[in-house]
Amino acid sequence: MKSVIIGTAGHIDHGKTALVKALTGIDADRLEEEKRRGITIDIGFAHLELAAPGGETLRLGFVDVPGHERFVRNMLAGIGGIDLVLLVIAADESIKPQTREHFDICRLLSVRRGITVLTKSDLVDPETLDVVRLEVEDFLRGTFLDPSHAGIVPVSSLTGAGMDDLKRALVRVTAEVPARDSTSLARLPVDRVFSMKGFGTVVTGTLISGAINKEAELELFPKGKRVRVRGIQVHGTSSEQALAGQRTALNLAGVTTEELARGMTLAPPLTFNATARVDVQLSLLTSAKPLKDRARVHFHSYTSETIATVVLYGKKQVAPGETAFAQLRLCESTLLLPEDRFIIRKFSPVITIGGGVVVENAPPPKIKDAAVYAAYLSSLAGGSRSDALQARVLSAGARCLSVADTVARTGWTSQQVEIVASKVSGITRVNDLLIANSALDVLRKKLLDALESFHRQNPLVSGISREELRGHFPEASPEILAHVLDHALKEKKIELSADLVRLSGRGVALKDEEAESQNIIENAFAAAGLKVPALKDVLAGLKVDKARAQKIVTLLLRDKVLVKISEELVFHRDSLADLRKRVAAQKAQSPRIDVARFKDLTGVTRKYAIPLLEYLDREHVTRRIGDERVIL
């Protein structure tokens, strides 16, 4: 069963609600005030099922909107999610101001299909009807409702004349409407909130994408509150699931009616982010006055409405009929995704002046070059999904873009992101991160430059620690840096030694006096055995300065030629190896050894004996039990 949402549009008292009732048998005016005053104030809903020529059932959901200029804001809350429009023009009045404004809104929202209906045809004679038809044809020529392909249907809601023709036209046009994507991520803009006895909190809206199942958990934007779907109705009938393109009512648990309002959106949890800034491609109506930079406007998208400040990129104003890139700074956060359409109305007097499409819902805090950034927005707005993803990843640079971030900024599923990424040759995937190959090339060069600089400044250190190296790449994630290191290692441009990184073939480069000092230090501790001198005394007799002497010691310690067993004592590795053998040989005579026996064995004083025994404990040669050690 194919579901299509149809919106009405047209001037007040041109018979929109009566037309919907004549088609469906449902009075879309639900408010007492509407019935008392005889005018539509808020959006109303109805539904109808028709049979397509192939036997398929078409489920049509109607969103009836108010025509009065004072209620255009309510009209905008209902028109945003429609698939096609019924432009209603009364035959006894022809084209009126709200006819033009509603039609402009439909064009700005990129509604691509519809039917023009001449209502109240029973109130005029055939000649007048022909004149009105000619006026309407001239008004619509060259638009998506061009009579040459969209047609004009005269009807009378009172007598029923023309209703069968209208239903046939509906079947023909709805057959051309592409089905909405039920496999995408769900979004339900809320247009009504109420409490129903025995059920509790209920919201309604047009499910613009994805699917919602009973018992599903959803997130309420912009509040971020979690709710659970207790029950679902689709076009007034209970259902286990709602699909994209259907009028949907959800019975929610975990939220009260006081916490809900028209303009909020329900979507999967932990997927999207509400935003107060969006970059857009904005078009001004030819009938509008120039729109200046920093102007305040009324912003409408789907069911949401707020005040926005228009910040133009590289322009002082937008001329009537012109299109430009801009940032809209919203007074209230809302959930918006690229390709969402919107309407802007003049701040005062409140009239429709333009609209457009969201291009980027996560703009950077600061933009250095407006022209360059406008080019980036152009690549997002005018290209394919591959072009858009490549532009976003290129813009992210070394910061890269995670799959989750991409989902939040595009509305694509993670599977769709992966498929698109696999088709873009200039992108590399590292775990859950997407990075441009050009950014990787920059990082690889930066790595080699950083290592070259380190070796030049630290000739007595064989390599830089990973932690210190990380500080040279604050913009890159640990995963990306690890990937860069791995790539350089495979290409044999670097070497790894424990936690140290160095250029291939580059180690310590000692000058003659440094090499001589190294030999002096090593020989001094090797000759001393276990009765080692103080390190500072050894260093004091060297030809090199203190800083270089310390680096030579660090080098000997790193290569484990010298071993530091306490803050004050350093030994040669051969001396310690000999000690371990002697202690192990004592096990044959006695499995235990105390401090006195150890001093006799080694010939050292208590100053050396205690630190050496603690060293043997750490090396698991001995284990202390009371005042003795067990030789392991």
Q: How many helices (H) and strands (E) does the chain have?
A: 20, 35
Q: What element of type H or E holds 275? A: strand 275-284
Mean pLDDT of 257-283: 96
Which range (189-203, 263-277, 408-422, 447-461) has the least confidence? Answer: 447-461
Question: 49 pairs with which residues across the strands?
Answer: 59
More confident residue, 609 or 554: 609
Give residue 507's pLDDT: 63
- Answer whether 259's CB lies under 8 Å from 340's CB: no
**pTM value?**
0.79
pLDDT at residue 36 tops 60: no
User: Of all residues in the chain, what percent carry a pLDDT higher than 70?
Assistant: 95
Give residue 168's pLDDT: 94
Which range (72-81, 448-457, 606-615) has the least confidence? Answer: 72-81
pLDDT at residue 274 tops 90: yes
Give residue 610's pLDDT: 94
Mean pLDDT of 294-322: 95
Mean pLDDT of 117-142: 95
What is the sign, positive or negative, of the torsion defined by CA atoms of 233, 235, 239, 243?
Answer: negative
Instruction: Give the pLDDT confidence of 70-113 residue by residue, as tens digits.
Output: 656 676 776 778 899 999 999 999 999 989 998 998 898 888 89
With cut-offs at 50, 70 and 90, classify the pLDDT of residue 34. Answer: very low
* H-only helix segments in 397-508: 403-410, 414-422, 437-457, 466-470, 478-490
| Among the listed residues 75, 166, 168, 62, the one whose alpha carbon sits nearest the alpha carbon of residue 121 | 166
State how far Cα 112 lies from the chain centre.
28
With cut-offs at 50, 70 and 90, classify the pLDDT of residue 508. Answer: low
Mean pLDDT of 293-318: 94
Average pLDDT, the chain: 90
Give residue 180's pLDDT: 86
Helix (H, G, I), strand (E, B), or coil: what is residue 236? Answer: coil
CA-atom Rg of the chain in angstroms:
38
The Cα–Cα gap between 104 and 106 comes to 5
Per residue, what are the HEC states of 260-272? CCCCCEEECCCCC
Is the bond leading into 154 cis (omega within 30 degrees of zero)? Answer: no
DSSP string, 299-315: EEETTEEEEEEEEESS-
Torsion of CA 68, 69, 73, 76, to 10 degrees: 70
Instruction: Give the pLDDT confidence of 570-590 residue by residue, as tens digits.
Output: 999 999 999 999 999 998 888
- Answer whether 337's CB lies under 8 Å from 272's CB: yes
The Cα–Cα gap between 111 and 20 comes to 19
Q: At what angle do helices 385-396 and 414-422 cross, to 10 degrees?
A: 90
pLDDT at residue 307 tops 50: yes
